[in-house]
Structure 1
Amino acid sequence: MGERAATPATGADSGDAAWVAEAREALAAHDARLVEGFDAGQEIDRLLAARANAVDGWVRKAWARCIPGEAALALFAVGGYGRGELFPHSDIDLLVVGEPDVQAAHADALSRMLALLWDLGLPVGHAVRSFDECTRAASDVTVLTALLEARPLLANLAEVRALMDAIADERAWAAAAFFHAKRQELERRHARFGDTADNLEPNIKDGPGGLRDVQNLRWMARRVLGVYGTEELIALGQLGVDEHATLERERRTLSRLRFGLHLVAGKAEERLRFDHQKALAARLHQSGGDEAPSGGNRLVETMMQEFYRSAAVVQRISDRMLQRFEEQIEGEGELLPLDAEFATRRGYLVARDDVWPGGDIARVFELFSVWADHPALRGLHSQTARALAESLHALPAWRQAPMALREAFMALLRGPGPVRSLERMARLGVLGVWIPEFANVTGRMQFDLFHAYTVDQHTLAVLRNIAGFASELPDERFSTAHEVWPQLRKPELLLLAGLFHDIAKGRGGDHSELGAVDARAFCEGHGLGETDTALVEWLVRRHLLMSTSAQKLDISDPAVIHRFATEVADRERLDYLYLLTCADIAGTSPKLWNAWKDRLLTDLRSATRLALRRGLENPVAAAERIVESRDRARGLLSAHGIDEIEADALFARIPQESFLRGRADQVVWQAMALRDGVDGEVVARVRRLRAGAQALEVFVHSPDRDGLFSAIVITLDRLGLVIQQARALDGPGHTIFDLFQVLPADPRQSLELGEIERRLAETLAGPLEMRPARRAQPRHLRHFRVPPQIEFNTSADGRHTVFSLVCTDRPGLLADVAHVLRDNGVRVHDARVATFGERVEDVFRLSDGDGGLLDAAAQEALRAALLASIDGDMAR
């Protein structure tokens, strides 16, 4: 506790600039020593305390320079600074306490002191209040929280006691109200930082499992139990020695990350942004002295895995502590037996045996079984959760477990709510012990923009999607998954495939092949027969087959369908693979699944089922496909009152390839557009892929002119629409038939379909000299550079040049590519756009202006122009 200055302060004067210069130099030298200590691996708590102590000294000196010694004012550090944990660029929060007349008398002196601190380079935040004003301000729970951390810098014992009395629970926020308010605040904060961006760029301070969660426990302990630190909870029986040691270990890990982040960012940055991840990982590696992992991004991935694992442990202990605080407020509650082993207390599942599991590890699986049988339970009682955590070391991995335990695990997968059981086992650390390979991917991230979650969280998201297929309320994101689910012979096999599909990531090599080996061993070890084992093994090995086929190949080509059907071989595999693929894509990122992908996979499954039903020895011929498509379209047109004669007249205006490659409903839609349009003018029509979906189909029919494709693409880009697939066909009478699948770049964007049609028609009716809009590259894409790769091949039918482009994605890329193609006199017949995070993989079918293949000279000219356009954008 500091003593007041004995001598009066000097005037507002003279010497302040020199004092500030001296102080800045001294503080900078001290901070430099702290940085050296950090890089040398010094203990983080010493560094935090050392910076707080150094700032304390300069704050007191500034006070002594400005505030008379007899002034009836007290000075406190509050917030994180009051806690004595001061990070390199954290705020310096001060509270000056004095009666209103004293505040007024020394207002100028206080302003001068604060100005000195700001000039010194300290980011000071302050409040000047009387004790009564502190009480009133504490009606805001955030203010009260800061005051709970109050540490006297210049105050006597009476003033310290007066401040504590001013915020006592009988005057501001009783224990129960404070607890519930802070828990709701925690839940809101977790929800706010739970989106995709914050999984890729997590917030060390405020995100789930971050430092704020640790501090929250300290605040609750203070208000609910009247103790000043979590260590004091041990003596009260509220926190185990092991729990406290674990919590402190993870707090230090998170604190070291935050300290280093401030250093590399040069400011008070709390999010692990891509801008800083590589620099911070390299710095932490140097200070740790460990051998560097191999691979360009491995340092980042190792650092991030450490963060995610620490955050998960903090959340686990925090959950238990919140429940214990709740019990202090509401009472323990009555023990209500469920069976001989388990009971409920206040809605939580609790083991009745005080020494559970008592060395009998089989009781762990019984716990999850009972939990699954009682879905209304609030959760696991903190007492039992702690006992479970302490017994994890005794739980064997499945390879060392007796068959009875393995059967108990499989019974959970076959029982009620299996995915909830797996989620609980993962959150409580059981799944990582039972399946060590799962522990290896827990917290593992990939340094890219495609995988929005760590591998373990992605796996759980996939399993939740699978659980949704079984729900009585179909998930509207998936058009047919709920119809396929009941056809599965053994749903638990799909769960096993989902559990193992990415389990080998990070080992090096093909994770699908390595994971398939793990899956086979697990299935055999758990007593599954060869047929079931082979199915799970195949699903893991080929879990990417359907998504890559749908997104990268032309699934309207009968030959593509025949090859895919040959690989799948039977309808059971197809159904399992379809559901696994839907769940996998939708579980990779909230932004990745859309109605267009839903339609692609549904169409691929339907076409493959038909091929399997025909028999793989009887592949469908193009001519037969066209006849079937015309017949189906003619039948659909009859519902619109169009007879066969008029239908055939409309069909004569449609390219034959539309019947080969399009769906019957698309052909009907196009025919109706032709019927309603004016011959010789631009016809533009837009529809949703399904009711309520953001994905749209855009159809454009027009007399052919040079630059039409480029103009359409640029117009769609200017409307904020991102093209997923484009098909450009030559129609009869020198016309074009272009079909686009598009999505809004901003999901919040609302565009009237009629407005899109109007803009397209107006633009295409005028001159086509259009240039793409130039946009700055988004921040997050700047850190993920994909070297451009361009290849040219000849299509299987020999009619077109196939141009493949792999490069870094950016807004307006396809519009730029279309413009380059137009400038080089190239015609586009088909475009497939596949985006995987920061990586775009586009495939175009091209011809020269006369409809022939591009010769070598044309290919090289196009390559040079495209590389110039792409590299020029990256240089901006």
Structure 2
Amino acid sequence: MTAPVADAGSTAGSAARPAAQETGDQALAIRNALAAVSAGLAQRFDSDPDADIDRLLQARTGAVDTQVRAAWASCLPVDAPLALFAVGGYGRGELFPQSDIDLLVLAESDAQLAHGEALAAFVALLWDAGLPVGHAVRSAAQCTQAAADITVLTAMLEARPLIATVEDMHALQVATAPNQVWPAREFFGAKREELRLRHARYEDTADNLEPNLKEGPGGLRDVQTLRWMALRIVGTGDLESLVAIGQFGADELATLERERRALSRLRFGLHLVAGKREERLRFDYQKLLAERLGHVDNADTLAVEQMMQGFYRSAALVLRIGERLLQRFEEQIEGETAPVVIDHAFELRRDYLAARDPQWPRDAYDVFSLFAVWAGHDAVRGLHSQTARALAESLSRVPAFQQAEPALRERFIALLRGPHPVHALERMARLGVLGRWIPAFAKVSGRMQFDLFHVFTVDQHTLAVLRNLARFASGIVDERFSIAHEVWPRLRKPELLLLAGLFHDIAKGRGGDHSELGAEDARIFCSTIGLSRADTALVEWLVRQHLLMSVTAQKQDIADPEVIHRFAGKVNDREHLDHLYLLTCADIAGTSPKLWNAWKDRLLADLYTATRLALRRGLEHPVAGIERASETRDAARAMLATLGFGDDDVDQLFERMPEIGFQRSRPDQIAWQAASLRGVATGETRVRARAVGEHAGALEVFVHCQDRDGLFAAIVATLDRLGLAIQQARVLDGPNAMIFDSFEVVPIDPRCPPGIDEVEQRLAAVLDGPLDRIKPTRRTQPRHLRHFRIAAQVGFDTLDDGRTMLSLVCTDRPGLLADVTQAIRSEGLRVHDARIATFGERAEDVFQLTSTQPDGRDGALDETQQEALRDALLACLEGDR
């Protein structure tokens, strides 16, 4: 390894470089000594769950100090006019197993020139010993210049002398003093903006699947930032000093220090497990770290979920306390202004909401009143730090809803019916009030699910669902949800939908069906706080059935009148349908930013529209297939007429199309496909694609060509090669052995979706050539999928129409659908319909298949064919790719 050179070195030096052999021996000695220390610290970490993490960090820092000083002594003369400081985390005395060793050599220019070679030898020795050294050589004046970069200044603020005199220490302090560079006001503003941008990089939440312990919101960097600000503004990085001057509460300090130690313990263990400098709690390490920390799986919660819940709760508290201290720093810099009175209880101080009564809150009613006033003044900057602290100290006064007085229950209902109710619920959750009021919510706070489908903790997902509902309520049209803005105004009592959203996942992690358990929680809550039986029943039903619409839309053929009739029978009336549609949209979109797409939007909108029509007709009058086909035919004819098609042209085009298509397709699809066939000779291939909604890259693809073996597998493989993921496929047989296949697709990588022309040309070229040469693309499995293995499940059901339904549940991976269709093709089977659903790492796909019967007609698979296909699929899914 080449040792880095100092940023101000020389070509000559007065100190002789140690002989190569001596240097090598000393480097080996340093390496061995530190390895022994590291092994001992790791053993202490593993053997004692209660070991003081600060002592471990200090012990490692002390061991490194010893070796760095020894290396300095072997390379530099005792009387050299040079000073050595530890800076950054090393200067702070927090050396984790894989932390960098940041050093500053303070020396004037002539000393730098005189000892440049010796300094290079010193740094090289440390690198040879395996220490990840970062260093700078600067004079006092150069320190001032370099400190113009606030990151450099921040590192020097925590300088700790290793080899230095009192004069050296004073010189460095003077060089970086506020009157030289970055006065307190500018430093605070820059650091606060730096914190904001850093949080934004992590989507302003610590509740990610693979959070960053150091840089993420609520991580160790947040604690360090508070110390840096204290150093610049107050003159001390010791937060205990802030307690003495009234800037910080003793309870706040105790909480912050407790959570810092918890985060530090996680980071120490992560470095041990990773064996390298790693700050992200990646899936690669989560299970290993949970085991190393002593967590054990239980009936309801995996060990890794227990560990992660601890992290999320620590991060939330760091964020909460950090907000208060930042505000106090701001007050100290800018000073107080005259308050603006809101009412007898509250006022604005520098646009922060504050309680006027020094003894506030006197009871829980006062607490709920705070959130009501806050909702009515939604533009305020936030909660004043003194009021926030008083609230934190009085959380024990907030009873659970079952023990609350009627007046307090009515106050909560009024919050839901008042302005900005979702903002009120979010603030109550963030500040710990909602968990006191609804104890079941406290249990899911910070609770993760170890999968790739739920990218947020349960409480953060719940709040995301509520925010989506607030968007629907705003009246602003969101192009991602095509009809939500039309449905919301029809709600009789919107607060009931908010309660359903609040409770829909509240029973996660208890074992059993969370929908059933959550419905019981919702029933008890609603009846206790005084809702009517009818309103309580609606909320209970929504929680129990919150997955019904999603499952129906994604796993069943909603173009089948029988499917619509069964779903309408479960929904039963328009009110339940309206609420369930909005809750389903909000739930799916709140599960993962990548989960909602144009296909799901249209699928749910189509199911909603078809069900509304069925309810209007009456459940005793289900829509017959022939009647639906006639309606679709007439509507498509009208659309084609606007495009200049005459009745005779339309009749000829419709005769070329499969009759079942008029029952299974929407009028706009029929019109589009018919128009695509204009001028196409019998037997000629035609491929068309069109954009779906406003989502970039989402397409509907129509394929019309001569039927032959392997056709479906070739189309799937080509779409996969184009970077398109199939969400739904419908395969229909038309007259003259022509197929009418349609595919709903979304880009695998939304940043570079293929264009419509490219899709049409590539597919057409493939279909006009030999299909045997089209094979699935081989891709490397993404890192994150390796940690989530789902045992493949293959099931078969024989349908009334003589087809066999194949149900497949397995671990998702790139090219999965292409491989599955190849396995189906290898068994000589035909695909007639496909429903593709992916939930994080879990793929749940459904296919309708037939095989050629002895009489030449298509029919259901017999047991021998089912077993052969099962074996082929398992070999495909479990084989080494």
Instruction: Give the TM-score normalised by the residue count of structure 1.
Output: 0.97
Is 192-201 or 412-421 further displaced after alignment? 192-201
Q: What SS is found at the alignment partner of 1:322?
A: helix
Is 525-534 or 844-853 further displaced after alignment? 844-853
TM-superposed CA distance for 1:9, in Å, is: 7.5
Q: 1:313 aligns with which of 301, 305, 317?
A: 317
Q: Which residue does the alignment assign to 2:160? A: 151
The 1:737–1:387 alpha-carbon spacing in structure 2 relative to 1, beyond 3 Å, is: same
Whether the 8 Å CA contact 2:345–2:357 is kept in 1: the answer is yes
CA distance in 1, matches of 2:206, 2:89: 26
Q: Which residue does the alignment assign to 2:627? A: 624
Whether the 8 Å CA contact 1:9–1:64 is kept in 2: the answer is no
Q: What SS is found at the alignment partner of 2:293?
A: helix
Counting matched residue pairs gives 861
Residue identity in the other structure for 1:333: T
Residue identity in the other structure for 1:409: F
- Say yes or no: does 1:756 pair with 2:765: no
TM-superposed CA distance for 1:676, in Å, is: 4.2
- Say yes or no: does 1:858 pair with 2:865: yes
CA distance in 2, matches of 1:685, 1:608: 29
- Say yes or no: does 1:281 pair with 2:290: yes
Is 174-183 or 844-853 further displaced after alignment? 844-853
Q: 2:847 aligns with which of 840, 844, 847?
A: 844
Whether the 8 Å CA contact 2:263–2:314 is kept in 1: the answer is yes
CA distance in 1, matches of 2:308, 2:21: 51
Q: What SS is found at the alignment partner of 2:443?
A: helix
Whether the 8 Å CA contact 2:328–2:385 is kept in 1: the answer is yes
Q: Which residue does the alignment assign to 1:406? A: 409
Q: Which residue does the alignment assign to 2:308? A: 304
TM-superposed CA distance for 1:142, in Å, is: 0.5
CA distance in 2, matches of 1:14, 1:268: 30
CA distance in 2, matches of 1:522, 1:342: 30
Instruction: Give the TM-score normalised by the residue count of structure 2.
Output: 0.96
Q: What SS is found at the alignment partner of 1:806?
A: strand
- Say yes or no: does 1:767 pair with 2:776: no
CA distance in 2, matches of 1:451, 1:108: 56
Q: 1:86 aligns with which of 85, 91, 95?
A: 95
Q: Which residue does the alignment assign to 1:30? A: 37
Q: 1:497 aligns with which of 484, 487, 500?
A: 500
Q: Which residue does the alignment assign to 2:9? A: none
TM-superposed CA distance for 1:197, in Å, is: 11
Is 310-319 or 801-810 further displaced after alignment? 801-810
Q: Which residue does the alignment assign to 2:7? A: none
The 1:196–1:554 alpha-carbon spacing in structure 2 relative to 1, beyond 3 Å, is: farther
- Say yes or no: does 1:686 pair with 2:689: yes
Q: Deviation digits for residues 571-630 of structure 1, max 9, x if unmatched?
A: 100000000000000000000001100111111111111111111111121111111111
1:211-610 aligned at under 5 Å gives the runs: 211-285=220-294, 292-295=296-299, 298-357=302-361, 359-610=362-613
1:69-148 aligned at under 5 Å gives the runs: 69-148=78-157
CA distance in 1, matches of 2:799, 2:79: 91
The 1:233–1:301 alpha-carbon spacing in structure 2 relative to 1, beyond 3 Å, is: same
CA distance in 1, matches of 2:339, 2:183: 28
TM-superposed CA distance for 1:803, in Å, is: 1.0
Whether the 8 Å CA contact 2:518–2:544 is kept in 1: the answer is yes
CA distance in 1, matches of 2:729, 2:636: 22
The 1:518–1:853 alpha-carbon spacing in structure 2 relative to 1, beyond 3 Å, is: same
CA distance in 2, matches of 1:501, 1:228: 45
Q: What SS is found at the alignment partner of 2:492?
A: coil
Q: Which residue does the alignment assign to 2:719? A: 716
Q: Which residue does the alignment assign to 1:668? A: 671
Whether the 8 Å CA contact 2:17–2:118 is kept in 1: the answer is no
Q: What SS is found at the alignment partner of 1:767?
A: coil
- Say yes or no: does 1:54 pair with 2:63: yes
Q: 1:828 aligns with which of 828, 831, 841?
A: 831
Whether the 8 Å CA contact 1:196–1:589 is kept in 2: the answer is no
1:182-201 aligned at under 5 Å gives the runs: 182-194=191-203, 199-201=208-210
Whether the 8 Å CA contact 1:558–1:621 is kept in 2: the answer is yes
Whether the 8 Å CA contact 1:697–1:741 is kept in 2: the answer is yes
TM-superposed CA distance for 1:410, in Å, is: 0.7
Is 396-405 or 484-493 further displaced after alignment? 396-405
Whether the 8 Å CA contact 1:44–1:252 is kept in 2: the answer is yes
Q: Deviation digits for residues 639-687 of structure 1, max 9, x if unmatched?
A: 1122222211111011011101000100000000001434422100001
CA distance in 1, matches of 2:631, 2:159: 80
The 1:196–1:734 alpha-carbon spacing in structure 2 relative to 1, beyond 3 Å, is: farther
CA distance in 1, matches of 2:21, 2:832: 79
Q: Deviation digits for residues 804-840 of structure 1, max 9, x if unmatched?
A: 1111001111111111222221111101001010000
Q: What SS is found at the alignment partner of 1:848?
A: strand
The 1:713–1:198 alpha-carbon spacing in structure 2 relative to 1, beyond 3 Å, is: farther
Residue identity in the other structure for 1:608: T
Residue identity in the other structure for 1:487: R
CA distance in 1, matches of 2:353, 2:120: 57
Q: What SS is found at the alignment partner of 2:781?
A: coil
The 1:208–1:195 alpha-carbon spacing in structure 2 relative to 1, beyond 3 Å, is: closer
Q: What SS is found at the alignment partner of 1:499?
A: helix
Whether the 8 Å CA contact 2:697–2:753 is kept in 1: the answer is no
The 1:410–1:296 alpha-carbon spacing in structure 2 relative to 1, beyond 3 Å, is: closer
The 1:625–1:472 alpha-carbon spacing in structure 2 relative to 1, beyond 3 Å, is: closer
TM-superposed CA distance for 1:342, in Å, is: 0.6
Q: Deviation digits for residues 277-299 of structure 1, max 9, x if unmatched?
A: 0000011016xxxxx34159610
Instruction: For structure 2, list consecutive stretches of 5 or more residues without a partner in the other structure.
Output: 1-13
TM-superposed CA distance for 1:360, in Å, is: 2.4
CA distance in 1, matches of 2:871, 2:345: 73
Q: What SS is found at the alignment partner of 1:350?
A: strand
Residue identity in the other structure for 2:274: A
TM-superposed CA distance for 1:227, in Å, is: 1.3
Q: Deviation digits for residues 527-578 of structure 1, max 9, x if unmatched?
A: 1000000000000011111001111111111111111111111110000000
The 1:839–1:639 alpha-carbon spacing in structure 2 relative to 1, beyond 3 Å, is: same
**Alignment RMSD:** 1.5
Q: Which residue does the alignment assign to 1:3? A: none
Q: Deviation digits for residues 7-40 of structure 1, max 9, x if unmatched?
A: 9887344422222222222211111110111112
Q: Which residue does the alignment assign to 1:289? A: none
CA distance in 2, matches of 1:752, 1:198: 35
% identity of equivalent residues:
65
CA distance in 1, matches of 2:15, 2:164: 17
